[in-house]
Structure 1
Amino acid sequence: MLSPNTDNRRLFKWRPVHGVMIAIALMAPLLLTAWLGGAEALQRVKHFPLSLLVLMLALAFTCWNLNAARLRLMLGGRAGPLGQRGALGIELASKFALCATPGGSGGPATLLLLLAQRGFPAAKGAGVFLVDQGCDLLFFIAMLSGLVLFSLVSDTQWPHQALVQWALVGLALVAALVSIVMGFLPRLLRSRSLKAPWPSRYRRRWLVRRLLRCRYALKITLSLPRTTLLAMMLLTTAHWLMRYSLLYLAVLGVGGHADWMWTFLTQMLAMAASQFSFLPGGAGAAEVGVGGLLLPLMERDQAAAAVLVWRLVSYHLYLAAGAPLFILYSYRLLRRSPTA
Structure 2
Amino acid sequence: MSRHWWILAAALTGAVLIPLLLGGSGLFGRLRSFPLDLLALMLGMIVLGWYLNAQRLRLLVGRRTLAQRRAIGIVMATEFAICATPGGAGGPLTLMALLMRHGVPPSKGTATYAVEQLSDLLFFICALVGVLIFALTHAMNAYIASLLGITTALLIGVVVVLALLGRFHRQVFLLNGWLVGRLGVKQRRKRRWARKMIRFRNALLDCFRLPRRVLLGVFALTTLHWLLRYSVLYLTLRGLGSELAWAWTFIVQLLALTAGQFSLLPGGAGSADLASAALLTPLVGKSTTAAAILIWRFVTYYFYLIVGAPVFVHLAGRTLFRLLRTRQG
The normalised TM-score by structure 2 is 0.89
Cα distance, 1:118 vs structure 2: 2.2
CA contact (8 A) 2:151 2:251 kept: no
Q: Does 1:110 align with 2:94?
A: yes
Note closer, same or farther for the CA distance 1:192–1:178 as it changes in structure 2 (3 Å cut). closer
d(CA) in 2 for partners of 1:301 and 1:191?
51
1:304 aligned partner: 290
Q: Does 1:96 align with 2:80?
A: yes
Specify the code of the residue in structure 2 equivalent to 1:46. R
Cα distance, 1:331 vs structure 2: 2.5
**Pairs within 5 Å for 1:29-48:** 29-48=15-34
Give the gaps of 5 or more residues in structure 1: 1-14
2:326 aligned partner: none
1:286 aligned partner: 272
Q: Does 1:60 align with 2:62?
A: no
d(CA) in 2 for partners of 1:160 and 1:184?
36
Q: Cα RMSD (Å) of the superposition? A: 2.4
2:67 aligned partner: 83
CA contact (8 A) 2:53 2:221 kept: yes
**Pairs within 5 Å for 1:140-151:** 140-151=124-135
d(CA) in 1 for partners of 2:134 and 2:320?
52
Note closer, same or farther for the CA distance 1:174–1:276 as it changes in structure 2 (3 Å cut). closer
d(CA) in 2 for partners of 1:251 and 1:220?
43
Specify the code of the residue in structure 2 equivalent to 1:327. V
**Pairs within 5 Å for 1:167-178:** 167-178=151-162
Q: Does 1:73 align with 2:59?
A: yes
The structure that is helix-richer by fraction is 2
Q: Does 1:157 align with 2:129?
A: no
d(CA) in 2 for partners of 1:112 and 1:144?
31
d(CA) in 1 for partners of 2:172 and 2:89?
26
2:165 aligned partner: 181
1:197 to 179, 182, 189: 182
2:313 aligned partner: 327
2:235 to 232, 242, 249: 249
Instruction: Give the fraction of aligned pairs with identical amino acids, expressed as a percent.
Output: 41
Specify the code of the residue in structure 2 equivalent to 1:321. V
Specify the code of the residue in structure 1 equivalent to 2:104. F
CA contact (8 A) 1:26 1:316 kept: no
Q: Does 1:134 align with 2:118?
A: yes
d(CA) in 2 for partners of 1:235 and 1:166?
27
1:4 aligned partner: none
Note closer, same or farther for the CA distance 1:91–1:309 as it changes in structure 2 (3 Å cut). same
Cα distance, 1:115 vs structure 2: 1.5
CA contact (8 A) 2:11 2:265 kept: yes
CA contact (8 A) 2:237 2:292 kept: yes
Give the gaps of 5 or more residues in structure 2: 324-329
Write out per-residue CA displacement over residues 263-300 of structure 1, whole angstroms, 9 at most, x where no aligned residue.
11110010001113243111111111112221112221
Cα distance, 1:124 vs structure 2: 2.3
User: How many residues are matched?
Assistant: 320
SS of residue paired to 1:257: coil
